[in-house]
Structure 1
């Protein structure tokens, strides 16, 4: 692949993929928190409607929903969505439904004693949610949100089927031009991996800050050198303990 093809197709495709990911993730986050908190409401009608949304979008195909927004909605409503926004809506609403279960589960994991303390302080439902439940549930949401963000990034490849010029669409155009399938798709895999790695690093940093914000110990840094250093420290401590025991036994 020449630099001209890279500059003309792949670089704009990377930017489109980043845009679709950011816009879809923002919409999914709003939907996840709105639907997830609604599913913990004491009003049955709110729980029913939010639960119905969750079940419908969890069971629906994001690709088919994208086709419906782009091809069927203009016939039904009489107006056409821009391909980029059709893809963003389909991905954001679908992955927002998945995220709502993460929010609901994290809120349900908050100790009931915390809610009772809020009630004793005469907090409203919104005050309890904002001051007590969400700050404690947020650190538990970040790791599964990380996985969901990676799935969303990979799901952005679906927008290529409605002519959005993302990385996958650009790679297909270059393959049709050069007839080189192996190097093009290998590069595409590596580019998705790099973007996913960047997302993971950012979410790990967010997780550490979220845990530090509620006084929890941050997760240990994983890695070969980290593991070796921890094992070395453990071994040194064990050796010191044995030496100390032997010395005390000799003294006796």
Structure 2
């Protein structure tokens, strides 16, 4: 029992790394999603082209290949990242490309007459986005953002390929040392499910809060 307790500790330490990857990767993905999503609808065509190129590239290539490029190829260009930083960058940029289309679609779904009203009120572009467009677009983005965060959580397993000790990597270590596949992988299966459940519950709570705020205004 003491031996399995030590192995469980290993997996829990790996789970902490998985949580770090998920939180930091999701934060990067959120920032990138808004930058690229807004870039897709910008009036300046070079910015639209750049945002479109980023989105299509990261949606059209494998996360495995992106991770290997970030960790193994960038050092040849003088950019060396730690395994954690490489994992966060690859995951964040990959998921951010999907989130960018969510941002673009939600913003464009705001009725045109409300956009015209903000212009008639002589609001600045920042004021239009901050006070009129985003409060209506955010509740539309949240469900898909939640799904994207869960997909990012599950994709963290790929970082074991660059020897980052997430919980999938630690489960493989426990399997190699004990010869048991069922116990370590059943453990991380439950941990992944609980983490995904926490994300979906948090997103639903935030969605209810934002929707209640809009109802209050109406």
Q: TM-score range by the shorter chain?
A: over 0.9
Aligned partner of 2:145 in structure 1 is: 145
Aligned residues: 214
Aligned partner of 2:120 in structure 1 is: 120
Contact 2:37 2:101 in 1 (8 A): yes
Structure 1 residue 124, shift from structure 2 partner: 2.0
Matched, 1:56 2:57: yes
Structure 1 residue 78, shift from structure 2 partner: 2.8
Q: Secondary structure at the residue paired with 2:215?
A: coil
Deviations 1:160-191 (A, max 9, x none): 11011000000000000000012221221111
Aligned partner of 1:88 in structure 2 is: 88
Which is worse superposed, 17-26 or 34-43?
Answer: 34-43
Looking at structure 2, the residues matched to 188 and 21 of structure 1 have their Cα atoms a distance apart, in angstroms, of: 15
Tell me, which stretches of 5 or more residues in structure 2 are unaligned? none
Matched, 1:213 2:213: yes
Contact 2:107 2:137 in 1 (8 A): yes
Looking at structure 1, the residues matched to 181 and 12 of structure 2 have their Cα atoms a distance apart, in angstroms, of: 18
Q: Secondary structure at the residue paired with 2:122?
A: coil
Looking at structure 1, the residues matched to 44 and 128 of structure 2 have their Cα atoms a distance apart, in angstroms, of: 16
Contact 2:55 2:97 in 1 (8 A): yes
Which has the higher Rg, Structure 1 or Structure 2?
1
Aligned partner of 2:161 in structure 1 is: 161
- In the superposition, the TM-score normalised over structure 2's length comes to 0.95
Aligned partner of 2:180 in structure 1 is: 180
Which is worse superposed, 59-68 or 21-30?
Answer: 59-68
Deviations 1:36-79 (A, max 9, x none): 1121112222211111111111112111111011111112x234
Looking at structure 2, the residues matched to 156 and 27 of structure 1 have their Cα atoms a distance apart, in angstroms, of: 14
Give 4+ residue runs of structure 1 displaced > 2 Å after superposition. none
Which protein, 1 or 2, shows the higher relative CO under an 8 Å CA cutoff with sep ≥ 6? 2
Matched, 1:38 2:7: no
Looking at structure 2, the residues matched to 61 and 125 of structure 1 have their Cα atoms a distance apart, in angstroms, of: 36
RMSD of aligned Cα (Å): 1.2
Looking at structure 2, the residues matched to 60 and 124 of structure 1 have their Cα atoms a distance apart, in angstroms, of: 38
Looking at structure 2, the residues matched to 79 and 35 of structure 1 have their Cα atoms a distance apart, in angstroms, of: 23
Q: What is the correspondence of 1:3-18 to structure 2 with a 5 Å cutoff?
A: 3-7=5-9, 9-18=10-19
Structure 1 residue 127, shift from structure 2 partner: 1.7
